[in-house]
Structure 1
């Protein structure tokens, strides 16, 4: 008995997704900065040293701010194209 195909309930995207998979300079700065900041803050908590904890928090917040600035300078993932009407595609929702 032949099977009938299901109707197409999706639309293909207008363009392919970015090839960098989010591996940008801004993302690396954010990842390494947050890792270093959390490591410092954790060590400061274990040593009961408030100065090291504050340095860890400053490094964490500073890496977030620096990453946002780098993305604004074009070193991050480009923003998706504006969607007009109800033409949302299945991977950018």
Structure 2
């Protein structure tokens, strides 16, 4: 068992770790982008459809829900590539407007 007395702690000073911050700060939109919301809502809708399909034992509807979720993932990646994702051209221009966050 280690000695945690006040005298021991005074003689053995705890060293703190140096923090290294990244060279640049990331955008401050917290993922509130067109690509992010499209992906989120698309996967959510697909998940709800798949859940309903499981409850009613409809295999074809499950596959439709899975397809919706996969299309949403692909659409989100395409929108990110078009500049509607975090750090994208359209997102930065939107964030630069007065009153935007």
TM-score scaled to structure 2, two decimals? 0.64
> Which structure carries more helix by proportion?
2
| CA deviation string 1:9-47 (max 9, x = no partner) | 234443332110111111101110111001000101111
Q: Which runs of 4+ in 1 moved over 6 A?
A: none
Among 34, 37, 41, the alignment partner of 1:32 is 41
* Segment of structure 1 superposing worse, 70-79 or 53-62: 70-79
In structure 1, the residue matched to 2:76 is 67
**When the two structures are aligned, how many residues end up with a matched partner?**
76
Structure 1 CA distance for aligned equivalents of residues 37 and 71 of structure 2: 14
RMSD of aligned residue pairs (Cα, Å): 2.3
Gaps of 5+ in 2: 1-14, 89-101
Structure 2 partner of 1:86: none
> SS of the counterpart of 2:63?
helix
Q: Does residue 1:41 correspond to 2:45, yes or no?
A: no
Structure with more relative contact order (C-alpha pairs < 8 Å, separation 6 or more) = 1
Corresponding residue for 2:93?
none
**Which stretch of the first structure deviates more once superposed, 15-24 or 26-35?**
15-24
Quote how far apart the aligned CAs of 1:60 are: 0.4
> TM-score, normalized by length of structure 1?
0.69
Is the radius of gyration larger for structure 1 or structure 2? 2
